[in-house]
Amino acid sequence: MLNSTSYFILGAYLDVGTYVKYLCFVMIAVLYVVIVSVNAVLIVVICVNRSLHEPMYLFLCSLFVNELYGSTGLFPFLLIQILSDVHTVSAPLCFLQIFCLYSYVKVEFCNLAVMSYDRYVAICCPLQYHTLMTPVRGLLLLLLMWLFSFVSFLISLLLTLRLTLCGNILNSLFCRNYLIVNLACSDTRINNFYGLFGTFLSVLVPLLPILFSYTKILQVCSAGSRQTRQKAVSTCTPHLASLLNFSFGCLFEILQSRFNWPNIPNVLQMIMSVYFVMLQPLLNPIMYGMQMSKIQTVCRWQSNDPEPSTLKTWSETLQKSE
C-alpha cells in the first residue's frame, strides 16, 4: 500500500504568462466541449434508433463512449492545472487518472480490433454476416473487451500502490504509472516485468485479429470485383486512419516516458504527450460520422423532423427496407 507520499508535483508546467495561460485554457475548453458534444450526439443517435442496433454500430457506440471516458479523465484535470499556480495533485486522484487513461488506451485498441474483425466478416462472409455477428454476440464481445482492459491494468495499478516512494515530482502534464514506479525506493522488478508483459499483451491481443482481418480483406479485394474493392475501401478507411493515428500517439507517449529526448523542444514534447487522448476523441466521430451513410441519414432526419412518432415510423420503415 502506498505510504510515502500524499500528493505529487507536476513539473512539466511552464510559467508562460497570464495571457498565454488563459489562451491555452480557452482552446482546451473549446476542444473538450466539441469532443463531448459530437461523441454524445452520435451515442444518442445510435441508442435511440433501432435501425442502428447492429454489431457494427454497437462497436462504434462503444468507441464513442470510450472517447468520452478517456477525454474526461484528462481534460478537466488539464483545465484546473492550467489555471492553478501550484501544480499538485493528491495521490488518490493521481491514481484514478492513471487508471482512466491507461484503461482508455487498452479499450481503444481492443475496440478497434473487434471492429476490424466485424469488417472482415462483413466483406469476406457477407451472406453469413447476420448469423455470425448477431447483436447478442456483439454485446458479449464488448463486455469481454471492457473487462479484459480494466482487469489487466488494475493488476498493474495494484502493483504500483504497494510501492514505497522516495519522491513526489513527476516531469509530466498528468499522472503516469511509469514515472511513479521510477520514484520507488522498494523493489520494482515485478512492476517492470508486468509492465512490459502488459504492454506486450495490450498490443499483441488486438494486433492479431487486426492483421488476420486485413490480410483476408486484401485477399478478397485482390480477387474480387471493383464494387467489392470500393466497398472495402469505404468501410475500412476510417478504421485504418483511426488505428494509425492512435498507434502513433501511443507509441510516442511510450517512447517519451521511457527515454529522454533533449533535441525535441519541451513544448512539442508536451503537446505530443497528450496527442493520443486529444485528437483521437475528436477525429473518430468526425471520420465515422462522415463515412457511415446510415448515420448521416438518421442525423439529417432528426434535424429536419425531430418528432418522436415520425422518427419511430421512419426507423421501422428503414428496417423493413433492409
Q: Provide the sign of the torsion angle of the four alpha carbons 98, 102, 103, 104, taken in this order.
A: positive
Look-up: residue for cell 448469423? 131
Residue 190 domain-assigned? yes
* 173 closest CA partner among 97, 234, 106: 97
Question: What are the DSSP calls for 120-149, one per residue?
Answer: HHHHH-GGGHHHHS-HHHHHHHHHHHHHHH
- 127 contacts: CB under 8 Å, gap ≥ 6: none
Domain coverage including residue 117? 7-291
Residue 183 domain-assigned? yes
Look-up: residue for cell 473518430? 284
**What is the pLDDT, as a whole number, of residue 158?**
93
Residue 219 domain-assigned? yes
Residue 17 domain-assigned? yes
Tally the domains of the chain. 1
Q: Is 83 helix (H, G, I), strand (E, B) or coil?
A: helix
Q: Phi and psi dihedrals of 217, rounded to 5?
A: -65, -40
Dump pLDDT digits (tens) for 175-232: 999 889 989 988 888 988 888 888 888 888 888 889 898 888 888 887 777 777 777 7
Question: What are the DSSP calls for 89-132, one per residue?
Answer: EEHHHHHHHHHHHHHHHHHHHHHHHHHHHHHHHHHH-GGGHHHH
Residue 298 domain-assigned? no
* 112 closest CA partner among 234, 229, 4, 208: 208
Q: How far is CA 68 from the centre of its chain?
A: 9
Edge-to-edge order in the sheet of strand 7-10: 88-90, 7-10, 169-170
Question: Please, which residues bridge with residue 171 across strands?
Answer: none
Question: Please, which residues bridge with residue 19 across strands?
Answer: none
**What is the pLDDT, as a whole number, of residue 314?**
33
**What is the pLDDT, as a whole number, of residue 306?**
45
CATH classification of the domain holding 31? 1.20.1070.10
Q: Which residues of the chain have pLDDT under 50?
A: 1-3, 306-322
Residue 84 domain-assigned? yes
Residues 294, 279, 197, 78, Cα dihedral to 10°:
-130
Residue 230 domain-assigned? yes
Residue 255 domain-assigned? yes
**What is the pLDDT, as a whole number, of residue 307?**
43
β-bridge pairing 169-170 and 7-10: parallel
Question: Please, which residues bridge with residue 88 across strands?
Answer: 9
